[in-house]
Amino acid sequence: MSTPASSSKGGVIQIKRQGDLAIIIPASEVETMEWELIEQAAEIVLMPLKREPPAAVIVDLSQVSFFGSVFLSLLLRCHKLVKQQGGEMVLCGVSQRAKELLEVTALDTIWAIYNTREEAIQALSI
């Protein structure tokens, strides 16, 4: 299952299922996502996770160089939902610039960060 979510700027956030894992793949357009779009994006991302709770969620940031507070709020909302459902959320493909932001905000302490999607899948499969 793949659910594309489009913003008015043409940005896309895809959600793919692989077994009981959900993989969220934001496109580079999330770097400039405006606050007004966050509610729409959150609903599009969170709805499939509410309908069919995954055991774990991987957010693949390999297409994203950086992001700000708007996208961070989306990640936090996703994390909260996944935790409430008893799941785990991890990140992969995080750029150096994004890693620095996660370190400054101490969010790197709540999410495991993997270099690649394959590493994340393997870690969650153990």
Distance CA(68)–CA(66), nearest Å, equals 7
| Banded pLDDT at 8 (limits 50, 70, 90) | very low
Distance linking the first and last C-alpha atoms of the chain: 23
Closest CA to 121 of 91, 85, 98: 91
* Structure confidence by residue, pLDDT tens digits, 68-112: 888 898 899 999 999 999 999 999 999 999 999 999 999 999 999
Segment 14-25 mean pLDDT: 94
Distance CA 55, CA 109 (A): 20
Residue 12 pLDDT class (50, 70, 90 cuts): confident
Q: What is the pLDDT of residues 58-77, one digit of tens each?
A: 999 999 999 888 889 889 99
* Residues contacting residue 54 through CB under 8 Å, at least 6 positions apart: 17, 20, 21, 22, 82, 87
| Higher per-residue pLDDT: 66 or 34 | 66
Rounded average pLDDT over 118-125: 94
Domains and CATH numbers, the chain: 2-125 (3.30.750.24)
The answer, as to whether pTM is greater than 0.75, is yes
